[in-house]
Chain A
Amino acid sequence: MSQRPLSPHLQVWRWHVTMLSSILHRASGVALYGLALLAVGWLLALSMGPTTFAGVQTVLGSVLGKLILVAAGGAVGYHVTNGIRHLVWDAGHGFTPKVASMASWISLIMGVVGAAWVAGRVF
């Protein structure tokens, strides 16, 4: 099997923004699984009473907590925008290189916007 020719892989291709947007959709999706678990933790803490809730709020208010929230804002902004793009693809549109690259940049920008928006609120 190792002697057989392989299809061109990453190092052979000129870098293109669609490569980044493709893998970032997965990465942000996995990160958002974590965010969803955090959100459930927040709800559970709230349901347990003021003392537990205050503890969670203190953690979220720490520098690390704020950074996690900013990253979550970025992941949401990116995954939602790029997710809509996936739905457009599923409908059969947006496959030309020009549109695909432009959509990649829009998704990336929306990720930055999401992170910046959260940063503006927590810092």
Chain B
Amino acid sequence: MSQSQPSQFRTPLSRARGLGSAQSGLKHWIKQRLTAMVALPLLVWLLYALVAHGVDSYATARAWVSAPQHAIPLLLALVLVFTHAALGLQVVIEDYIHKPLSKIILLVLNVLVAALAAFAGIFAVLRLSFGV
């Protein structure tokens, strides 16, 4: 690209052209779709099992979560859903929040909240399963 071209007349696309991709976009894209495709059947199964079992009391809820056919898909679903959610919200933040400081704070919070929630959910399921 010629340097003589005044920069205010150049579009962001023309400035980026020739520089190559940022390299990490494809990984993000694939992870977003893989987590969706694996989480979907798990969530369908969990919802079906939840309705079939019925959780109207503490005892039935506890029995439902701690059964291996529910606990194991629940653990996997927690990892997949929060990975998917964090990837999705990351794009929403990048698209709509333009102030650099607000953007960085929200992007970090997004990851922290998703990771914390996933681990908290895993902790709860394991605690119920092992009966402590």
Contact = CB atoms under 8 A, between A and B. Distances in A.
Interface stretch (A14-22, A46-54, A63-71, A99-107): A46-54
B1 to A, nearest CB: 18
B128 A46 contact: yes
B40 interface: yes
Interface stretch (B16-24, B100-108, B119-127): B119-127
A53 B128 CA distance: 13
Nearest to B128: A47
Given A29-B88, A30-B92, A47 B127 contact: yes
Interface in B62-105: 62, 65, 78, 81-82, 85, 88-89, 92
The DSSP consensus for interface residues of chain A is: helix
A43 B8 contact: no
Give the interface size bracket for B toward A.
Answer: 20 to 34
Give the interface size bracket for A toward B.
Answer: 20 to 34
Given A54-B58, A87-B33, A40 B40 contact: no
A30 B89 contact: yes
Most buried by A among B36, B58, B89: B58
B125 A87 contact: no
A80 interface: yes
B40 A80 contact: yes
Interface in A92-118: none
A53 B92 CA distance: 33
A83 B36 contact: yes
B113 to A, nearest CB: 8
A26 B92 contact: yes
A84 B39 CA distance: 12
A44 B43 CA distance: 19
Interface of B: 8, 33, 36-37, 40, 43, 58, 61-62, 65, 78, 81-82, 85, 88-89, 92, 113-114, 117-118, 120-121, 123-125, 127-128
